[in-house]
Structure 1
Amino acid sequence: MYDEVTIGVRLRALRRWRGMSLRTLADLADLSQGFLSKVENGKQPLDRRSHIAAVAQALQVSETDLMGGPHLTRDPVQSEPHRTIPAVRTALMTNTFTAPATDRARPLAELVAEMVRIGRSEYGHDEVAVKLPPIIDELHVHVCAPADEAAHRLALRTLIEAFQSATFLSKDLGYTDLAAVAAMRAHDSARILDDPVSVGKAATLRIHTLPTGARDLRLTAAESAAEAMEPHVRDDLDVQVLGMITLVASLIATLSYRYDRAEHWLAQAGDLATRTADDPGANWGAFSATNVGVWRVALATERGATGRPLLDLAAGVDEAKLRPRRGRHATFLADVGRGLAREPRTHREAVRWLRRAESTAPHKIRNSTAVRETVGVMLQQAREAAVGRELRGMAARMGVPH
């Protein structure tokens, strides 16, 4: 049953399709043959993005081919968000800066206020998904026929925020190509505005959605964006945008195994965080000292951390400050759980962290390929009834045969 859904099974099928031995794949991906054997046999998860990118590149397939596309179950919490994707896709693909998809729009100030509420996570995930397509449509009306130059620029700046929401909505649900389209639309908006903050915001989205295999391109883009933004930092928003660029740069450096560069940019982010309020709920991109701590955990998990070192990092995060950002909070909890799941002795604790993540943002966690892979592998390994019951519950909600 488990073999039907694991990345390991897809890995074995793709490797055999390429006529490649496990040793050859291991050499090409610069990973150990023993590790890949455990992945293929469901004994170890393939959940580090750098490993996924390396294996996909070695096999000459997309990461979606390896990981699987959006996974739908009968669980409405998991599957319902996918119903909103066609409307988001239509809004992204049918509007242009010279021809909006609709001819009517609410006042610009009302649309701006809606995007502020979305940016601060005042709406639930389902509400955002429903509100976003018409906002994108109507903002294009204001871009095409603005009241004046100030209104034109405000509409474009607000569109960047809308495209950011569309990017991460699509990415969270597994529609990576659509996320890239939204990021490129933000990039197009920023090019017209040609101001450092807009360009910096759009750069973070573009870097997030570039193919993981393009490691050198992504790292160059991230570091160039940070260096371009740095001379223009004047106020809180500037600090927050630059801060998010430095965090993205630290992530890309980590995925590229450039741990020295990753630590450099993470330290830069820490310094910038002292220059703005520690308020993830209000700050752009949630940039704050608390969010830097969250990224430290995420990057440590990506590098293979587990056990006490990971828990010590997690203990430094003030979860109370994360609560307004439920998706960010859930990702933090899941990162800790995934790290702890790598060692059998911390499986029970891993399940507790993963269950907390699921309770915090069910739609996000039940649609997470990385969490699904971790739950599947842990379920394969589970021997004690208490652990098995918890995992079987999560497995049922995530569509993992159990």
Structure 2
Amino acid sequence: MTTNLTIGERVAWYRRRRGMSQEVLAGLVGRTVDWLSKAENNRIELDRLSVIKTLADALDVTLGDLLAEPTLMEWTTDSGTRTVPALRSALMNYRQLTPLLGVTTEGEPTPLDELKNSVAEVWDAYQDSRYGFATRRLPLVLADALITAQAQQGRDRERAQELMAMTYQGAAMVLTKVGETDLAWIAADRGLSAAQQSDNMAVTGSLFRSVAHCLLSNGRFEAAVQLVGDAADYLRPALRNADAKFLSIYGTLFLAGSMAAARADDRATTRAFLGEADRAARQLGHDANHMWTAFGPTNVAIHQVATAAELGDMQVAMDLGPQIDTSGLPTERRTRHNLEVARALSAHNRADDALSMILEAEQWAPEQVRSHYLARELVLTWVRNQRGRPSRPLAELAHRLHVV
């Protein structure tokens, strides 16, 4: 019902539904009535998730409610006509819950190398921002992984559990991107359970990162910070003999933690987590993509920009963001960075430059841009604030994002 409203307009919509005056809501979030009135009327951009989460809590709604998530996944050649509901059915298969019922999943096990290739196909699609393709493939890969894990013994069973964990993580990451945060939590939880049975520290660390992302997407910023700290304590002893994969997983966990700390408005922890990630990146020595982490010095720099924006330091984000060369990173990372730079530019009234950043990102990753709240919110706000007709590029983009 509120898809075509800005975040500020959604705040007003839910406030009225709650029978709450501006004076009451402003008092609950520690702001003035003037500030709230400007936010509801798009004269102040609500572009920090920490602020949006405070408003959501006061209104007793979810963060996703104010961000207008989830969004409908469009049918494409990649996705076919069975998208998120099919993946939901796969995740809610009761046979995955417990062996106590004595029920095994029917089908022939998949050779481990073939299953490994299928998992890689899903993750490559995620990093290419081809969410429709990944969503279509995931139910089949999950079924194959489950059947294969049940059929194996010894080391082969551990390998199958590793692959099942990474499949669940792929599902969690894709579902988070398209706004299906509750389903993403189920997938991350299942993946962490499989990772623990694999006895592979790198895979377990990778699933910790996925759980942190799920907490972030559900607005549980402090819990995500705590998880990253606890997970790091668990993983740290393995750093003594760390290979490039483990080092990448370890560093990427702190990048997720830095975003959580920034959204919790915790500057000290943000700096500490970015420092840990930077040390891991310098030890790795270069940009890499071990276990689909895209980890290295460039990804750390990207997170320095993103955390600055989340903390409200838009000048820092605007100064640093355009200087970062993301051409060597996966599409998903490049696109996400463009959106952050667009947010900083928009905050400094450079809407035309910000629009160019989003249009460039849309060329790379149309599915990602359409599903991300930042792109939708920026474009809708620009349209709302136009005195006359919006420019043709802006109007056409708004139409493609389905925000008008």
Structure 2 length as normaliser, TM-score?
0.89
Change (3 A) 1:126 1:84: same
Aligned 8 A contact 2:339 2:374 in 1? no
1:294 is aligned to 2:302: yes
Moved more, 272-281 or 241-250: 272-281
Q: In the alignment, what sits opposite 2:376?
A: 372
2:82·2:136 contact (CA, 8 Å) conserved in 1? no
CA distance in 1, matches of 2:107, 2:88: 19
Instruction: Confirm whether residue 169 of structure 1 aligns to residue 169 of structure 2.
Output: no
Equivalent in the alignment of 2:231: 225
Structure with greater contact order relative to length (CA < 8 Å, sep ≥ 6): 1
**Residue equivalent to 1:313:** 320
- What is the aligned partner in structure 2 of residue 15 from structure 1? 15
Report what 1:354 is aligned to: 358
How far off is 1:390 after superposition? 2.1
Residue pair 1:78, 1:366 contacting (<8 A) in 2 also: no
Q: Can you list the C-alpha shifts for 1:44-69, whole angstroms capped at 9, x where unaligned?
A: 33232212211111111112222223
2:120 is equivalent to residue 116 of structure 1: yes
SS in 1 for 2:324: coil
SS across alignment from 1:320: coil
2:142 aligned with 1:139, yes or no? Answer: no
* Closer/same/farther in 2, CA of residues 33 and 237 from structure 1, 3 Å limit: farther
1:354 corresponds to which letter in structure 2?
I
Report whether the alignment pairs 1:256 with 2:264: yes
Whether contact under 8 Å (1:226, 1:242) holds in the other structure is yes
Q: Residue in 2 aligned with 1:304?
A: 312
Corresponding residue number in structure 2 for 1:246: 254
Determine the C-alpha separation between the residues in 1 that align with 2:27 and 2:221. 18
What are the Cα deviations for residues 309-366 of structure 1, in whole angstroms up to 9, with x where unaligned?
Answer: 32331244222212xx11221111111112211232x111111111111111001101
- Deviation of residue 113 (structure 1)? 2.0
1:77, distance to aligned residue in structure 2 (A): 6.1
1:46 is aligned to 46
Structure 1: distance between partners of 2:290 and 2:222: 33
Greater mean deviation of Cα atoms: 8-17 or 309-318: 309-318
Shift of 1:215: 3.7
SS at match of 1:64: helix
- Which amino acid in the other structure matches residue 314 of structure 1? G
What amino acid maps onto 1:371 in structure 2? A
The share of aligned pairs that are identical, in percent, is 28
Contact 1:338/1:354 (CA < 8 Å) preserved in 2? no
CA distance in 2, matches of 1:77, 1:120: 18
Q: Could you say if the C-alpha distance between residues 125 and 203 of structure 1 is closer, same or farther in structure 2, counting changes exceeding 3 Å? A: same
Shift of 1:282: 4.6
Greater mean deviation of Cα atoms: 21-30 or 352-361: 21-30
Alpha-carbon distance between aligned partners in 1 of 2:303 and 2:82, rounded to the nearest angstrom? 30
Q: 2:338 aligns with which of 328, 333, 337?
A: 333
1:223, distance to aligned residue in structure 2 (A): 1.0
Tell me the matched-pair count.
393
- Find the aligned partners of 2:172 and 2:77 in 1 and give their Cα distance: 19
- CA 1:297–1:202 in structure 2 vs 1: closer, same or farther (change >3 Å)? same
The answer for the alignment partner of 1:67 in structure 2 is: 67
User: Cα gap change, 1:319/1:335 in structure 2, threshold over 3 Å: closer, same or farther?
Assistant: same
Query: Does 2:203 match 1:204?
Result: no
Q: How far did residue 274 of structure 1 move?
A: 1.3
Q: Deviations over 1:164-207 (max 9, x none)?
A: 11112111111111111111111211232344323322211112
In 2, are the aligned partners of 1:78 and 1:367 still within 8 Å (CA)? no
Contact 2:289–2:295, Cα closer than 8 Å, also in 1: no
In the TM superposition, what is the alpha-carbon distance from 1:40 to its structure 2 partner?
1.2
List per-residue Cα deviations over 1:114-141 (Å, max 9, x = no partner).
2234334587443322222111101101
**Are residues 1:186 and 2:191 paired?**
yes
Conservation of the 8 A alpha-carbon contact between 2:162 and 2:200 = no
How far apart are the structure 1 equivalents of 2:81 and 2:371?
Answer: 10
Contact preservation (8 Å) 1:173, 1:367: yes
What is the aligned partner in structure 1 of residue 400 from structure 2? 397
Whether the 8 Å contact between 1:241 and 1:284 is mirrored in structure 2 is no
TM-score (norm 1): 0.89
Question: Once superposed, what is the RMSD of the aligned Cα atoms?
Answer: 2.6
Instruction: Give the direction of change, closer, same or farther, for the CA distance of 1:172–1:78 in structure 2 (3 Å limit).
Output: farther
Q: Which amino acid aligns with 1:294?
A: I
How far, CA to CA, are the matches of 2:304 and 2:361 in structure 1?
Answer: 18
1:373 deviates by 1.0
Paired with 2:257 and 2:77, the residues of 1 have a C-alpha distance of 31
1:127 matched to 2:130? The reply is no
Aligned partners of 2:76 and 2:314: how far apart in 1?
A: 30
Report Cα offsets for 1:127-165 as digits up to 9, x if no partner: 32222211110110111111x211111111111211111
Q: Does 1:155 align with 2:160?
A: yes
Partner SS for 1:286: coil
Q: What is the deviation of 1:370?
A: 2.2
Q: One-letter code of the match for 2:370?
A: R
Once the two structures are TM-superposed, the CA of residue 70 in structure 1 deviates from its matched residue by 2.6
The answer to whether the 8 Å contact 2:245/2:290 transfers is no
